[in-house]
């Protein structure tokens, strides 16, 4: 049996967790390739036009996988960090099934439908049962997978904190969801562009989630989405250490449409630029805007 993991959306939040889990459970898996023009086009063909870009990438990735594996892995996660998720994560299992219905897709998933701390573990055990893997075996695999993801995130966070402390370059905080910033098509060109302008890209997503979410409570009382809280909290924690903020979003992201406005209203003293990536044009034409943004930062610091 072979499981196909689409390299999209939740994968970027759980990459080490998922891959370790399948490896430890002894299940073969394949990953769809990094996002490319073909995946985007396939996704756009399959999705309703108004669908957000990351969901189009998800559908394009599944289109690539569907004939190459026995099961498509597409979990359903309604809560993260004890907070609400964007509804697309609630709907994605049904969305994928209905979009590919004519090709009779077989879906593998776990379902986190409540806020309890144990929800994820229970959901994984249930999936293990579906796969006929002994419970103890699944438990062990789960612990190992969780640890791997944790260490990976801790290491990532520490090395970034070192950069924040030690770098003399202009530090630009890129505020973007994991599935945007880590996507080859969406986030990577922006990170490269920032580096080429001799600035230090700081990725909000890489900071510790728990601490950031705690910090976000000072900024907004009712912000419903855990993932957005993580990002907002990162700004709050590091606002004195950065020179500018890029709000990188994909069209037409529901949560970002409101949260980015809130960020702009709450941090009036930091230069902020919003970059919106859409299906057709990707990140083309953003170079010029970034250049002038860096000029503004330098001007503000008296370096120009």
Partner 1 sequence: MRGYLGIDIGSISTKGVVIDENNNILASEYLWTEGDPMNAVKRLLKVLEKQLQGKDVNIVSVGTTGSARKLIGAMTNASVVKNEITAHAIGTTTLHPDVRTIFEIGGQDSKIIIIDNGFVVDYAMNTLCAAGTGSFLSSQAHRLGVSVEDFGEIALTSKSPTNIAARCTVFAESDLVHKAQIGHKKEDIIAGLCKAVVTNYINNIGKGKRIQSPIVFQGGVSKNVGVKKAFEDAVGAEVLVDPNGHLMGAFGVAVLAKKSGIEKPFSFDVADIEFKTTGFECPKCANHCEIICVFKDDVLIDSWGNKCDNGAVKIGQ
Partner 2 sequence: MINNENIACFPQWANYACAFKYICEKGFETKYIIPPPITKKTIELGSKYSPDYVCAPFKYCLGCYIEALEQGANCLMQIYGGCRLNYYGELAEVILKDMGYQFKFFNMADINFKSIKSIVEHFKIINPNFSLVKVAKSIPVMMNIIKTIDKFEDYIRLNVGFEVNEGEFEKTYNEFLQKLNNLKNGKQLKQLKKIYWKKLTNIKVNKPSKIIKVGMIGDYYTVQEPFSNYFMEKELAKFGMEIHRYMNLTNTLIHNKGKERKNVAKKYAKYNLGATANFTVAEAIDFAKNKFDGIIQVKSFGCTPEIDAMPILQNVSKDFNIPILHFSFDSQTSETGVKTRLEAFYDMVEARNKG
Query: Can you give the binding site for partner 1, defined by CB under 8 A?
Result: 37, 44-45, 48-49, 278-281, 284-285
CB of 65 to partner 2, least distance (A): 18
Which segment (62-70, 191-199, 220-228, 293-301) binds partner 2 by CB under 8 A?
220-228
277, two tokens: 């990536």
Residues 182-211 that bind partner 2 (CB under 8 A): none
The entry of partner 2, partner 1, none near residue 267 (CB within 5 to 8 angstroms by kind) is none
Applying CB under 8 A, among 118, 166, 265, 302 the residue interacting with partner 2 is 265
CB of 49 to partner 1, least distance (A): 5
Query: 50, 85 in Cβ contact below 8 A?
Result: no
Question: Would you say 44 or 203 has its CB closer to partner 1?
Answer: 44
Residues near 263 by Cβ (< 8 Å), separated by ≥ 6? 175, 232, 235, 245, 247, 272
275/83 Cα distance (integer angstroms)? 26
Question: Would you say 48 or 150 has its CB closer to partner 1?
Answer: 48
Q: For the chain, how long is the longest CA-to-CA vector?
A: 65
Question: Would you say 17 or 89 has its CB closer to partner 2?
Answer: 89
235/256 Cα distance (integer angstroms)? 15
Percent of the chain as helix, strand, coil, to the nearest 5 = 55, 15, 30
The entry of partner 1, partner 2, none near residue 263 (CB within 5 to 8 angstroms by kind) is none
CA 57 to chain centre: 12
Q: Report the half-sphere exposure of 223 (CA within 13 A, side-chain side).
A: 27
Residue numbers at the binding site for partner 2 (CB under 8 A): 48, 50-52, 76, 78, 84, 86-88, 90-95, 97-99, 101, 111, 113, 220-224, 251-252, 254-255, 257-262, 265-266
């Amino acid at each position: 049996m072979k499981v196909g993991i689409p390299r999209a959306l939740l994968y970027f939040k759980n990459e080490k967790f998922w891959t370790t889990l399948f490896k430890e459970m002894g299940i073969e898996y394949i990953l769809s390739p990094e996002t490319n023009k073909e995946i985007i086009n396939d996704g756009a063909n399959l999705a309703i036009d108004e669908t957000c870009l990351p969901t189009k990438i998800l559908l394009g990735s599944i289109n690539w996988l569907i004939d190459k594996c026995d099961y498509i892995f597409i979990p359903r996660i309604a809560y993260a960090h004890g907070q609400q998720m964007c509804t697309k994560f609630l709907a994605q299992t049904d969305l994928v099934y209905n979009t590919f219905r004519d090709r009779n897709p077989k879906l593998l998933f776990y379902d986190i439908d409540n806020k309890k701390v144990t929800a994820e573990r229970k959901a994984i055990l249930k999936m293990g049962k579906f796969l006929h893997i002994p419970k103890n075996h699944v438990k062990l695999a789960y612990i190992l997978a969780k640890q791997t993801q944790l260490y990976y995130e801790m290491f990532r966070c520490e090395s970034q904190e070192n950069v924040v402390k030690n770098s003399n370059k202009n530090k630009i905080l890129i505020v973007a969801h994991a599935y945007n910033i880590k996507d080859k098509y969406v986030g990577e060109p922006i990170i490269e562009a920032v580096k080429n302008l001799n600035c230090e890209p700081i990725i909000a997503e890489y900071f510790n989630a728990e601490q950031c979410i705690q910090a976000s409570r000072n900024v907004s009382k009712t912000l419903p989405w855990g993932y957005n809280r993580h990002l907002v909290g990162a700004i709050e924690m590091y606002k004195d250490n950065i020179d500018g903020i890029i709000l990188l979003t994909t069209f037409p992201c529901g949560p970002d449409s409101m949260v980015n406005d809130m960020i702009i209203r709450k941090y009036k003293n930091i230069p902020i630029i919003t970059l919106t990536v859409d299906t057709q044009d990707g990140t083309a034409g953003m170079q010029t805007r970034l250049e002038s943004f860096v000029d503004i930062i330098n001007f503000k610091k008296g370096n120009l």
